[in-house]
């Protein structure tokens, strides 16, 4: 069961995502036909740690094993989603691919979600992309040694 709760007034969920860097590029995902990018990941399931959830998500979506190096950021986000109040809590990890793991060179649909594609974006072009979380563009330039916490409303 995902940590995704809805009722007539609102939506609340917990999401995990991975920051994967390689040769000046960042691994990202986006809904096919949409312009907004995000870091790959997914919802936490009941009973999982955030690291376990991220390992599971990369295995399900890309068929690869990853290693979580460290927690980079946490974020609390509040916004309107389909007319309802939404509240998300996000955990963002710096990750590495395990030995032998290969991701597609070009954007390709996810294994478990054909409406979403993932691929590599040059870090130097992030300023020109609508990407979430918004603080990513600044923070990726100089990763802090200790986790940072962000709160975003809007």
Interior/surface letters 23-36, b for 16+ CB within 10 angstroms, e for the rest:
eeebbbbbeeeeee
> Which pLDDT value is given to residue 152?
96
pLDDT in tens, 59-93: 999 999 999 999 999 999 999 988 899 999 999 99
In the predicted model, what is the mean pLDDT of residues 49-64? Answer: 96
Six token digits for residue 35:
């312009």
How far is residue 139's CA from residue 85's CA, in Å, rounded to a whole number?
Answer: 27
pLDDT in tens, 92-120: 999 999 999 999 888 998 887 779 999 99
**Averaged pLDDT score across all residues of the chain:** 95
Q: 8 pLDDT exceeds 80?
A: yes
> Which pLDDT value is given to residue 41?
96
How far is residue 114's CA from residue 81's CA, in Å, rounded to a whole number?
Answer: 22
Preceding omega of 154 cis (within 30 degrees of 0): no
> Which pLDDT value is given to residue 47?
96
55's enclosing H/E stretch is helix 50-62
pLDDT class for 132, splitting at 50, 70, 90?
very high
> Which pLDDT value is given to residue 45?
97
> Which pLDDT value is given to residue 22?
96
Cβ contacts of 53 within 8 Å, gap of 6 or more: 16, 41, 42, 43, 44, 45
Closest by alpha carbon to 53, among 15, 10, 108? 15
Whether 138 contacts 144, CB under 8 Å: no
Q: Exposed (0-12), middle (13-18) or buried (19+): which is 70, by Cβ within 10 Å?
A: exposed
């Amino acid at each position: 069961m995902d940590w995704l709760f809805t009722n007539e007034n609102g939506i609340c969920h917990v999401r995990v995502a991975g920051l994967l860097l390689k040769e000046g590029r960042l691994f990202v995902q986006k809904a096919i036909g949409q312009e907004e990018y995000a870091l790959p990941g997914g919802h936490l399931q009941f009973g999982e740690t955030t690291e376990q959830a991220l390992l599971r998500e990369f295995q399900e979506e890309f068929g690869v094993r990853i290693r979580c190096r460290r927690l980079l950021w946490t974020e609390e986000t509040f916004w309107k989603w389909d007319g309802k109040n939404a509240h998300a809590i996000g955990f963002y990890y710096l990750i590495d691919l395990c030995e032998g793991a290969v991701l597609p060179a070009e954007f390709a649909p996810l294994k478990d979600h054909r409406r979403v594609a993932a691929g590599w974006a040059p870090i130097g072009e992030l300023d020109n992309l609508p990407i979430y979380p918004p603080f990513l563009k600044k923070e990726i330039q100089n990763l802090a040694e200790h986790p940072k916490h962000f709160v975003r409303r809007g």
